[in-house]
Structure 1
């Protein structure tokens, strides 16, 4: 998966968790939990959705790598072999 594909998947799944969010309003390096006021259950739902969508196993120890847009894109791209 290319970084652009990873970004599109992340944005779509994040939009399913928080439909009111606007990607243009969030700095790609900012913690999405704070920027979007989402809780740990929302993050878990996002991780599950990303796993289902991509087939990438995401261990709990890696959840912190998905809390910024840049981090999630890099993680998904690297883990998918992109």
Structure 2
């Protein structure tokens, strides 16, 4: 997947987890938690959804890399480079 495809996938997951949030103005450099009302369970849902959809394993120590859209895409790119967009 490309960076743009990964970003779209993360946006899709965020839309499922927080359907009332307006994601159109999401600042990719700011923390998700600063921009959205996400709690720790929502954050775990993101990780679980990535695992379910793409079999991407994210160790708990790496959760800090999923703070913002930019850091999430950068972290996921090497893990998802060989995954085809469905």
Q: Same fold (TM over 0.5)?
A: yes
Q: Map 1:2-81; keep pairs closer than 5 Å.
A: 2-81=2-81
TM-score by length of 1: 0.89
Q: Counterparts of 1:26 and 1:80 in 2: how far apart (Å)? A: 22
Instruction: Decide which structure has the larger Cα Rg and report it.
Output: 2
TM-score by length of 2: 0.86
RMSD (Å) for aligned C-alpha atoms? 1.3
Q: Counterparts of 2:75 and 2:23 in 1: how far apart (Å)? A: 18
Contact 2:32–2:69 at 8 Å: present in 1 too?
yes
Q: Counterparts of 1:58 and 1:37 in 2: how far apart (Å)? A: 22
